[in-house]
Amino acid sequence: MEDAFILKVNDISASYGQSKVLFGVSFNLGPHERIAIVGRNGAGKTTLLKCVAALLKPTSGFVVYEGEEITGRKPFEVARAGLKYVHQDKGVFQDLTVRENLKLSSYATGDYDWSKVFKYFPKLKILLDKKGAGLSGGEKQMLMIGRAILGSPKVLLLDEPTEGLAPGIVSDLATVFCELSENTALVIVDQNLSFISKIAQRVYGIKEGKMVVEISDTQEIQQASYSRFL
Amino acid sequence: MKLSKSMFFDRRYIIVVVFVVLYLLRYVLPEAFVLEVVIQSIYVMGCSFLIGRLGLVSFGQPVYLAAGAYGTAFYLYYVGTNPYIGILVGVLMGLMVSIVAGVFLVRLSSSYFTLSNLAFCAIGFFLLQKVLVKYTHGDNGLWFLSKIDSTVIIDLSTTKGIVYFSFLIAIGVWFLYDYLMDRSVFGAACLAVKINEEKLRFLGYNAFNVKWLAFVIANTTAALAGSLNAIYLGFVSPSIADVSKAVEAVAISMLGGAGTLFGPVAGVLIFIGLKDIISQIVSHWELVVGIMLVAIMIRGEKGIVGSLEGIVHKSITKNNNKPVSW
């Protein structure tokens, strides 16, 4: 029987040196599903994504992607397998042009079809020769997501994608994420509840390194207040 | 063929022009000076690439230069007489040393990489001077000038032939680096390593492999320079790997503009030129060059070519958003 979930995070605990950050966190992600993880600063959201993307080795627990355990594998192997992480700091390569940023991703994935990137982010087409350092926050976010969707990843981990962006861009991103999920499952970590309520099919609340709530009813998600998740 | 404006700014044309002008300088300046400039430029190119494009400062360059020189010297002294095969052996020797050293050294970051390369250079010097003395003849060195056979097309047994050949090789090296730096995905990946290695991994790259390959290419280039130098002098001694020379390649790279295409040529021209001129006036020429280097670094970290690049970029590309890189 085919597994209903493309990603399973089982009982993950993690720490930075002596400081424990995650305590037995679990969640599952179905193909084409959009889930969100909400929590205060320091709750362990980014740490959780890093554990899933193999950037941080959990102290216990394991991650299964497409039926295979990926805990302990190298980050580039996980990325090549189609599980991509989009960092929260709008970290495009500043000294490289938009074209070079996209080329890098194309070469790594063997996917040179940039039309899908321009379909979601047409603005990038006119910015191709502009260096990363000269892009606005929104343009950087577009480039990061555009770079990540090359190679048609099966799972995208998006860390605070709306942070510092203008409301108009946030609204556009919501539309893009909904369209993207036709082919890619999304895990979105964000604190913007109105954004989350527009796109998430399931929301987890994380507090002090523990999952404290899970809401899967769309209506309930739209009505939920921030305090519900904390 | 119709000449377009962009053709004049195609760096491949500029490469040819620069080296043709440099070649013609031999009619004005001493031939030995011009040859030293071109061979040293090849030597510094790898170091400049590592610093400017990957952020890796290596104080071990003399050992890779020595690997090439000794590869060539061993072949010509002990085995054969064909200088082309000698150069090939030297380059292969440099390639092997770089591959093996890279496995260990490239894992290290920043100052650990820098100092481990320095230590590797010291080990190389010690091996050549003491441990392998039976084969290297220690400080007496290996003399093989009379063993170099004359060859067809470009006769490397003559100085004229070596000069001509070195310039052809230099143009080839610059074409390669032009491609590596700004026309290839590899060049972009190198810059990405310098900017943020971790983020390159998010895209599915093995950052270690990128650094290792760059390290091997850069140091094999140094070995090529060592081979050419050995053929020219017909002599090699352990002093080529002397640790005291370790800083020279780094200083020249910074002086000219690390990571720029023509930085090594400008740096070497100024460095050797000043050394030759100032050493005739004062005995401690290093002091003057040192002060000048500090002054250039204070003025801007981009070196001479890097700073010029900025000025030209502002003036030429006012209405054109395309980046300029030399």
CB of B324 less than 8 A from some CB of A: no
* Residue B313 C-alpha, separation from nearest chain A C-alpha, in angstroms: 14
pLDDT of residue B57: 94
For residue B275, pLDDT beyond 70:
yes
Both tokens assigned to A67? 């039926």
Is B183 an interface residue toward A (CB < 8 Å)? no
B interface mutation test: which of A96, A144, A158 has the most B CBs within 10 A? A96
Residue B204 and residue A109: Cβ atoms within 8 Å?
Answer: yes
Residue B5 binned pLDDT confidence (cut-offs 50, 70, 90) = very low
Point out the residues of chain A with pLDDT beneath 70.
Answer: 1-3, 226, 229-230
CA–CA dist B91, B78 (Å, integer): 17
Residues 6+ apart with CB under 8 A from B51: B57, B58, B250, B253, B254, B258, B259
Beta bridge partners of A206: A211
pLDDT tens profile B39-53? 999 999 999 999 999
pLDDT digits (tens, 9 = 90+) for B71-124: 999 999 999 999 999 999 999 999 999 999 999 999 998 899 999 999 999 999
Residue type, B317: T
Q: Which of A46, A86, A88, A100 to mutate to test the interface with B (most CBs of B within 10 A)?
A: A100
Q: What percent of chain A has pLDDT over 90?
A: 60
Burial letters for A161-185: b for 16+ Cβ neighbours within 10 Å, e otherwise?
Answer: bbbebeeebbebbbebbeebbeebb
**Which candidate from B185, B199, B321 shows the least CB-CB separation from A87?**
B199
Element (H, E) at B182: helix B159-182
Q: What is the pLDDT of residue A102?
A: 93
Q: Is B195 on the interface with A (CB under 8 A)?
A: yes
Evaluate whether B41 touches B170 at the Cβ level (below 8 Å).
yes
Among B201, B213, B260, B325, pick the best mutation site for testing chain A contact (most A Cβ within 10 A): B201
Predicted local confidence at residue B2, as pLDDT:
44
Q: How far is it, in rounded angstroms, from Cα B49 to Cα B57? A: 10
CA angle B303, B305, B307 (to 5 degrees): 65
Integer CA distances (angstroms), A175 to A168, A172, B157, in order: 11, 5, 71
- How far is B19 from B31, CA to CA, in rounded Å? 14
Q: Which chain B residues touch A143 with a CB distance below 8 Å?
A: none
Residues A104, B322: C-beta atoms closer than 8 Å: no
Is A32 an interface residue toward B (CB < 8 Å)? no
Q: Give A130-190 as a DSSP string.
A: SBGGGS-HHHHHHHHHHHHHTT--SEEEEESTTTT--HHHHHHHHHHHHHHTTTSEEEEE-
Q: Determine the 3-state secondary structure of A112 from DSSP.
A: coil
Residue B195 has pLDDT above 90, yes or no: no
pLDDT attached to residue B318: 59
What are the chain A neighbours of B195 within 8 Å (beta carbons)? 93-96
Phi, psi of A163 (to 5 degrees): -60, 125
- Domains in chain A and their CATH numbers? 7-229 (3.40.50.300)
pLDDT in tens, B151-166: 888 899 899 999 999 9
Give yes or no for a contact between B193 and B255, defined as CB atoms under 8 angstroms apart: no
| Contact with chain B for residue A112, Cβ under 8 A | no
pLDDT reported for residue A1: 44
- Residues in A closer than 8 angstroms to B323, CB to CB, are 97, 129, 131
pLDDT digit string, tens, across residues B288-299: 878 877 887 777
Sequence-separated (6 or more) residues with CB below 8 Å from residue B192 = A93, A96, A104, B199, B200, B205
CB atoms within 10 A of CB B130: 11
Q: Give the single-character DSSP code of B149.
A: P
Check A96 against B191: CB less than 8 A apart: yes
Round to whole Å and give the CA distance between B195 and A96.
10
CB-nearest to A79 from B185, B202, B322 is B202
Residue B150 has pLDDT above 50, yes or no: yes
Residue B1 reports pLDDT greater than 60: no
Supply the pLDDT for residue A156.
94
Report, as an integer, the average pLDDT of B28-47.
Answer: 94
Cβ distance A129 to B322 less than 8 Å, yes or no, reads yes
Q: Does B99 touch chain A (CB under 8 A)?
A: no
CB-based contact B185 A96, cutoff 8 Å: no
Which residues are CB-neighbours of B20 under 8 A, at least 6 positions away? none
pLDDT digits (tens, 9 = 90+) for B172-192: 999 999 999 888 899 999 999
Q: What pLDDT does residue B91 have?
A: 98
pLDDT of residue B226: 97
Q: Which residues of A touch B201 (CB under 8 A)?
A: 55, 74-76, 79
CA distance to partner chain A, nearest, from residue B22 (Å):
31
What is the SS3 assignment for A211? strand
3-state class (DSSP) for residue A6: coil
* Record: contact B323-A93, CB cut-off 8 A: no
Query: Mean pLDDT score of chain B, rounded to an integer?
Result: 89
